[in-house]
Structure 1
C-alpha cells in the first residue's frame, strides 16, 4: 500500500464527494421517513477505486458537508456513522476483488437491509420518538426498491466507467 500523499487521488475523491452531495441534496426524493436518491454511487466508485477506509471517510465528509451547506433538518450523528459504515461496506465487497454480480448484490443488500433499514430506522425512531416497528413498512418498501436499483447501477458503472477510468489514470 502506497502511503505517500497523492494529489491526483485527493482531487478525484474530492470531486466524487461533491457529486455525492449534489446527488443526495438535490437529486433525491425526500420525505421525513425516507430518502430515495443516487448519492450512493460516487461512494461506491470511491470504494472500488480506493478501498473501504477512503470510501468511509469520503461519505462521512460528504454527509457533514451536505448538512453544513444544505441542511434539511437537525443534525444527528447517527446518520453520519451510517454513512461511514456504508463506504466501508462498499469497499469490503468491491475493492481489489473480482467484481461479480454476487459481490455487487451482496454490497447493496448489506447497505440497504442492515445499514439503511436497520440502523437508519433506529436513528429515525430516536429522532421522531416513534416506535421502530411503526417506521418499518415504508422503510422496507424503500429497501426493496433500492436493492435492485443500486445493484444494477453499480454494476453498469463498474463495467462502463470505472474500468476505463482505471486504465486512463494508469496510462
Structure 2
C-alpha cells in the first residue's frame, strides 16, 4: 500500500489539513482530557479578554483575544476550536453585552478559529504559514464573510442598511495585518517555548524566525496599508 505522504514520519504533523488522518486526529482531541481542560482555559481567557485591546494609533487597536484564539486552535485543532468559539462567543455576549445578541456572529467566530487551526494545528510552522493564517482571517472572515453577517445584523436587529464596501473596515484590516502578523509570530514562538514541557505542543517553534524575505514582504504590506489610509483620508475629505 502506498504510504500516505500527507503525514510526516513521526505521525504527529501533517503537511496538509485536507486528508482523512488530519480530521481523525482532530476529532480524537475530544477524548483527550488534557486538551478539553486546555480548551476550557482558552475559552475563559477569550471571554475575559474580549474587550481588551492594545492601542497602536488613532482609532486603531489590536484585540488581544485573537492571540488566544490562534494558540488554542493550534493546540487542539479545528473541531474543538469551532465548539470553543461558539461557547466563548455566547458567554462573551451574555457576560459582557455590547448590543443585541445575534446568533449568526457564531459563524464568523467559528470560521476564524477553524482557519487558524487549518494552518497551525499539527503543522510544520513557519513565519509564512502563520502570516497566511492571519491574512485569511483578515480577508475571508473579517471582510468577505463578515459583510453579509453584518448586513443581516443591521437589517434584522437594528432596522438599518449596511454598506457592502465598508471602507473604514477594509482600510483598518490592511493597516493592521502586517502588525498583527508580526505580533502573532512573536507570541506563538514565546508561548510554544514555555508550553512545550506540558506535552500539548506538537510543532517546532525554532523555525518561527523572520528572514529578510519575510521582513521585505511585511514592509511592502505595511506600505500598502499606509497608502490605503492616505487614499481613504483624501477621498473622505475631498
Above 0.5 in TM-score? yes
The residue correspondences of 1:110-149 to structure 2 (distance < 5 A) are: 110-128=136-154, 129-133=160-164, 136-149=166-179
* Distance (whole Å) between structure 2 residues aligned to residue 133 and residue 44 of structure 1: 27
Per the TM alignment, residue 4 of structure 1 is displaced from its structure 2 partner at its CA by 6.8
How far apart are the structure 2 equivalents of 1:115 and 1:160?
26
The CA deviation at 1:151 is 1.2
- 2:192 pairs, out of 162, 167, 171, with 162
SS in 2 for 1:161: helix
Q: TM-score, normalised by structure 2?
A: 0.62
**Gaps spanning 5+ residues in structure 1: where?**
none
Q: Which residue of 2 aligns with 1:96?
A: 122
- Name the SS of the counterpart of 1:72 in structure 2: coil
2:12 alignment partner in structure 1: none
Q: Equivalent residues in 2 for 1:31-42 (5 A)? A: 36-42=62-68
Residue 37 of structure 1, CA deviation? 1.2
Aligned length: 165
Distance 1:21 1:146, change over 3 A: farther
- With normalisation by structure 1, the TM-score equals 0.84
Gaps of 5+ in 2: 1-24, 155-159, 201-238
In our comparison, the structure showing a higher alpha carbon Rg is 2
Distance (Å, rounded) in 2 between the aligned partners of 1:21 and 1:44: 14
TM-aligned CA deviation for residue 36 of structure 1 = 4.9
Aligned-residue CA RMSD (Å)? 2.4
CA change 1:23–1:154 in 2 (3 A) is same
Question: Which stretch has the larger CA shift, 101-110 or 142-151?
Answer: 142-151
Aligned counterpart in structure 1 of residue 49 of structure 2, from 23, 29, 37: 23
Which one of the candidate residues 158, 161, 183 is aligned to 1:153?
Answer: 183
For the Cα contact (< 8 Å) 1:36–1:142, is it kept in 2?
Answer: no
Bigger relative contact order (CA 8 A; separation at least 6): 1
